[in-house]
Amino acid sequence: MKRFTLFMIMQCFVFGLAFSKKNKVEKLPHIVYVLVDDMGQGDLSCYNPESKIPTVNLDKLAEQGMRFTDAHSGSAVCTPTRYGILTGRYCWRSELKERVVSGYDPCIVDKDRSTVATLLSRNGYQTAMIGKWHLGLNWATKDGSKITELKNDIVETEKRIDFTRPLELGPTHLGFNYFYGIAASWDFPPYIFIENDRLVEQPNGKKGGWIGDLPEGHTLETIEKNKKKYPLASWRDGVTGSLGPKDAVKVITDKTVDYINEFDNSKPQFLFVCYTSPHTPVVPRDEFKGTSQCGIYGDFCVELDDAVGQIITALKEKGVYDNTLFVFTADNGSSLKGIPITIQKKYNHSPSYIYKGYKARLDEGGHRVPFITSWPAAMPMGEVNDNLISLNDLYATCAELVGEDLSNNEAEDSYSILADLKGVKTVTDTKRVIVHSDFTGYFAIRKGDWKLTFPRAGKENELFNLKNDPGEKSNLMDKHKEKADELTKLLTKVVKEGRSNKGTPVLNDGPKHWEQLTWMKE
């Protein structure tokens, strides 16, 4: 009798554990993370009252969720930011120290490094990515050799690739159960969508012609004179698929909605949606032309806003929106290629809002991005959060969400903002440090209200108090040398120790080129 009683107790204990684990998984929210390409805070009317672009769906999202005002991309350009979102680590700690990768460069995420998708997968999530990858792909070659460097010779590279074979390293090797998207931006070949690890169609060998509308304010003659300044796919010989940049927003949205409609509600879902717009080429579909007061650039943004609305509607119709952590943000600030100064003046529209600068720069306009979240089951409505956060924070936030402790060598630059999302944390973490980087790999450091920039050689360092001077107009280097010295030493520490969050020092990858910089203090 005692044995039977003990057996029953053990069975109930095991069942209880299984039920508890199953119940925990069921309570975890779905996560839908929407990342757009080259959009400034000033493009959204919920940030900029003077915006000439009606963003009705994003405004509604902000009204019913939480809008962050001091959110920053991991870099002022695309590839490094995406690396940071997925790994929780600054990209300049990897082999890529500056610029971006092409559509044929090898993947910069090490196959053994954990990603957000990997983390969530091992905690019961079904994971998918739809849209722009732009972190490099390991293409199979005809002779089995490895493509290690493009060297701007696209034609020769394409001759080496066997496009009929599956990718050797890409999203589905790094934690995503499903992928549908493109290798990079539309100014990098191949201009063909990929499903999982294969091209959806084979290259047809056509040369790239002009794709879509001319950027407003340009003619074919002006573009011809500025090929290097405005590198678009139309100026490169290469392979061309049947779907192009004008189709991208619709294709990505339709695929996303279809995927949501097929959600397996027995599992929590992580869906990473990466749009290619409003990055150049600026090609809104005809139905959106004239819908803004900011030319075709504004119309392109309206098309994106409509796409976000479709995704939210799909989540609601599926009955999962209330317990979905929904995030909308951008990979960096607005680009002057997409909306030149002349066009800004013509329409009296400032894509960077009150901030200085644009994409690729250390100025706030290069990396301060819109960040709007919603989670009706757990988040207060209509709040504005002024805390300093980074897109790198997704990793640590997800780790806390699933109750997993981070190891010492993962997500080295990620902080959990789960408390912020739930409306619990109201005081800015004064110890929080964020490092900004520009297109050429130069740094700025931010702590509290203070920001110190280290621009390229020949330009003096700049110190700003962003609370008093958000437009970065007054350089305070001479007045606050002690603050500049403090931030210089802090940046040196963050770089050399391989991390900016708590933990023991780890090694950075690749050459230690920072040691040659004058600000590196012992």
CB 430 within 8 A of CB 424: no
Q: Are 403 and 444 in the same domain?
A: no
DSSP bridge partners of 451: 446, 464
> What CATH number is given to the structural domain containing 321?
3.40.720.10
Omega within 30 of 0 (cis) for the link into 455: no
Q: For 188, phi and psi rounded to 5 degrees?
A: -130, 130
DSSP letters of 94-145?
A: SS--SS---SSSPPSS-TTS--HHHHHHTTT-EEEEEEE--S--B--BTTS-
Count CB-CB contacts under 10 A for residue 345: 10
Q: Single out the residue in 389, 421, 453 at which a domain terminates.
A: 421
Q: How far is residue 288's CA from residue 301's CA, in Å, rounded to a whole number?
A: 9
Q: Are 202 and 233 in the same domain?
A: yes
Q: In this predicted structure, what is the pLDDT of residue 458?
A: 67
The predicted model scores a pTM of: 0.89
* Residue-level pLDDT, tens digit, the chain, 522 residues: 444 454 444 454 444 444 343 444 358 999 999 999 999 999 999 999 999 999 999 999 999 999 999 999 999 999 999 999 999 999 999 999 999 998 999 999 999 999 999 999 999 999 999 999 999 999 999 988 888 754 556 778 888 899 999 999 999 999 999 999 999 988 788 888 999 999 998 876 554 444 445 556 555 555 555 544 433 333 333 345 567 778 899 999 999 999 999 999 889 999 999 999 999 888 899 999 999 999 999 999 999 999 999 999 999 999 999 999 999 999 999 999 999 999 999 999 999 999 999 999 999 999 999 999 999 999 999 999 999 999 999 999 999 999 999 999 999 999 999 999 998 865 666 678 999 999 999 999 999 999 999 977 668 899 999 999 999 999 999 999 999 999 999 999 999 999 999 999 999 998 776 665 666 654
Q: Are 69 and 47 in the same domain?
A: yes
Q: How far is residue 114's CA from residue 408's CA, in Å, rounded to a whole number?
A: 12
CB 78 within 8 A of CB 65: no
Q: How far is residue 363's CA from residue 374's CA, in Å, rounded to a whole number?
A: 28
Q: Are 439 and 415 in the same domain?
A: no
Q: How far is residue 183's CA from residue 171's CA, in Å, rounded to a whole number?
A: 10
Q: For 41, phi and psi rounded to 5 degrees?
A: -60, -35
Contact partners, residue 391, CB within 8 Å, separation at least 6? 71, 72, 73, 74, 81, 84, 85, 329, 331, 369, 371
CB 401 within 8 A of CB 418: yes
Note whether residue 16 is domain-resident. no
Q: In this predicted structure, what is the pLDDT of residue 202?
A: 81
Q: How far is residue 26's CA from residue 30's CA, in Å, rounded to a whole number?
A: 10
E strand or H helix at 23:
helix 2-27
Note whether residue 5 is domain-resident. no
Q: Are 414 and 454 in the same domain?
A: no
Neighbouring C-alpha atoms within 13 Å toward the C-beta of 147: 30
Which residue's entry shows tokens 């606050």?
Answer: 480
Interior/surface letters 179-196, b for 16+ CB within 10 angstroms, e for the rest: bbbbbbbbbbbbbbbbee
Note whether residue 324 is domain-resident. yes
What is the Cα gyration radius of the chain? 23
Q: Are 399 and 476 in the same domain?
A: no
Which residue, 265, 334, 348, 346, is CA-closest to 300? Answer: 334
Interior/surface letters 308-325, b for 16+ CB within 10 angstroms, e for the rest: bbbbbebbeebebbebbb
Q: Are 82 and 150 in the same domain?
A: yes
Q: Are 352 and 404 in the same domain?
A: yes
Note whether residue 34 is domain-resident. yes
Q: Single out the residue in 369, 392, 421 at which a domain terminates.
A: 421
Amino acid letter, 335: S
Q: Are 402 and 460 in the same domain?
A: no
Count CB-CB contacts under 10 A for residue 453: 24
DSSP at 516: G
Q: Single out the residue in 356, 386, 421 at which a domain terminates.
A: 421
Range of the domain at 380: 28-421
Count of domains in the chain? 2
Note whether residue 228 is domain-resident. yes
Note whether residue 12 is domain-resident. no
Q: How far is CA 96 from CA 92, 264, 347, 472, 508, in A?
A: 6, 37, 38, 28, 11
Note whether residue 9 is domain-resident. no
Q: Are 173 and 284 in the same domain?
A: yes
Note whether residue 304 is domain-resident. yes
DSSP at 208: P
Q: Are 61 and 199 in the same domain?
A: yes
> What CATH number is given to the structural domain containing 498?
3.30.1120.10
Omega within 30 of 0 (cis) for the link into 281: yes
Q: Are 408 and 438 in the same domain?
A: no
CA 189 vs. chain centroid, Å, equals 20
Q: How far is residue 459's CA from residue 361's CA, in Å, rounded to a whole number?
A: 13
Q: In this predicted structure, what is the pLDDT of residue 283?
A: 87
